[in-house]
Every structure is written in C-alpha cells, then in structure tokens.
Amino acid sequence: MQKVVSILFWQKIKKMSSLQDNLKYHNSNHRYQLIMKSIALFLVLTLLMMSCQQTETEVKTGNVNTSEVANDKSDDDATEKKLTLDETTGGTFNKELAEALNADEYGMKQYVMAFLKKGPNRDLDSAAAAKLQQAHLDNINKLAAAGKLVLAGPFMDDSDIRGIYIFDVTSIEEAQKLTATDPAIKAGSLIMELRPWYGSAALMKVNEIHETIAAKAF
C-alpha cells in the first residue's frame, strides 16, 4: 500500500512538475511575444516618423520647385509674347529704327521707282558713250550720297528697259527733278518712266550696307 501511495505521490509530483514546466514555458512564450510585439511597434513608429520627415522634406522641396515653376512659367510667358511679336512683325520690333526710317506700322514706306529705257539719241561713238556712261554713274553716286537714291542697277539683258532707280521721295514731281540731273537723260540716251512704289523701309539701309561690302567703286 505504501508502495502504491509512493508511486501515486511521485506521479503527482511529476505531474505538478510538468505543469510548472508548462507554466514556465507559457510565461516565457508570453514574454517573448510581448517583446516581439514591442519591437514590431517600435519599428512601425520609426517608419511612421521617417515617413513624416520625408513628407515634410518633400513639402519644403515642393515649395522651392513651385517657385522655380513660377519663374519658368514667367519665362515661358515672356517667350510666348516674344514669339507672338515675332509672328506679327517677322522679328523683334525696333521702334527707334522704324521711326528713323519713316516706316509705317507694317515696316513699309512710299518710294518712286524709275524705269530707265533706251532713249532716241544712242548713236554715239565709243569714246563719247563711255564718257556719258561715267557721268551717268557719277550722278548715281551723287544722288545716293545725298540720300535721295535708295537703289539703282541695270538689267542684265539687252531689252529696251536698261535699269531701275528707287527714289526716296513721295511724289512723281520730286522724282522728275532728280532724274533731270542725269547726264544720260539730258543727252536723250535714256528716258525714264516714273511710278509710285510701296516697299520695305529697310531699303533705306542698302547704301550704308553696300559701302561695307564693296571693295571697289564705280
């Protein structure tokens, strides 16, 4: 009987020991879970803080970029206005130059064009013809220097129309006075047909530019 009791007692002791071990295990496991949960919570909070800092940085950067975008937009608007002006005028408008050249709103102005035609008196010997031609060229240079003759030049064929003049005048009468100074007109070697003409005011710069590119003079 004592042996049976002893066996039962030791079985009870083992059972209690087993229960204690299980309790220790459960307590240990519970503690481990709490630690892991704490670590997980810490990681979550850390990630949230990092996310907030990143968002704040992006907002600050966004403010700078917004300013830059505003400046870029301002530049784009200025470029657009310039392009609109370029499309309207064909280039950047220079009011001072336009006024100096007496240009209208289209950059144009009125001239008188002269068509130089063969005259009735052309039967000259070579020496006389050369002398008359030189006097004709000298008169062209004189009118150009005075700012009255904008453009002059011969046609390259042998037609009756020998060349053209473009005078910086607004009336046929003014142009007639200028053509009357031409020795070839006086000699009857040439006659002129005068026509009002509307062209670019930029032609007023032709003689000035020509002087910078001509290596020789007539």
pLDDT at residue 54, as a whole number: 61
Range from 35-39, 55-59, 198-202 carrying the lowest mean pLDDT? 55-59
Convert the pLDDT of each residue in 96-150 to its tens digit.
999 999 999 999 999 999 999 999 999 999 999 999 999 999 999 999 999 999 9
pLDDT at residue 67, as a whole number: 53
Is the pLDDT at 182 greater than 90? The verdict is yes
166 contact partners, CB below 8 Å, separation of at least 6 = 111, 112, 113, 114, 149, 150, 151, 152, 197, 199, 203
What does the pLDDT average to over 199-211? 93
Range from 77-81, 148-152, 153-157, 170-174 carrying the lowest mean pLDDT? 77-81
Mean of all residue pLDDT scores within the chain:
78
Beta bridge partners of 190: 118
Q: With helix as H, strand as E and coil as C, how does 87-119 read?
A: HHHCCCCCHHHHHHCCCCCCCEEEEEEEEEEEC
Out of 72-81, 82-91, 178-187, the most confident range is: 178-187
Q: How confident is the model at residue 6 (pLDDT cuts 50, 70, 90)?
A: very low
Q: How confident is the model at residue 43 (pLDDT cuts 50, 70, 90)?
A: low
Radius of gyration of the chain (CA): 51
pLDDT at residue 62, as a whole number: 52
pLDDT at residue 92, as a whole number: 87
Q: How confident is the model at residue 53 (pLDDT cuts 50, 70, 90)?
A: low
What does the pLDDT average to over 16-45? 56
- The backbone torsions φ and ψ at residue 209, rounded to the nearest 5 degrees and listed phi first, read -70, -40
What does the pLDDT average to over 31-60? 60
pLDDT at residue 13, as a whole number: 47
Is the pLDDT at 32 greater than 80? The verdict is no
pLDDT at residue 69, as a whole number: 47
Residue 173 burial (C-beta neighbours within 10 Å; 0-12, 13-18, 19+)? exposed
- The backbone torsions φ and ψ at residue 121, rounded to the nearest 5 degrees and listed phi first, read -105, 85
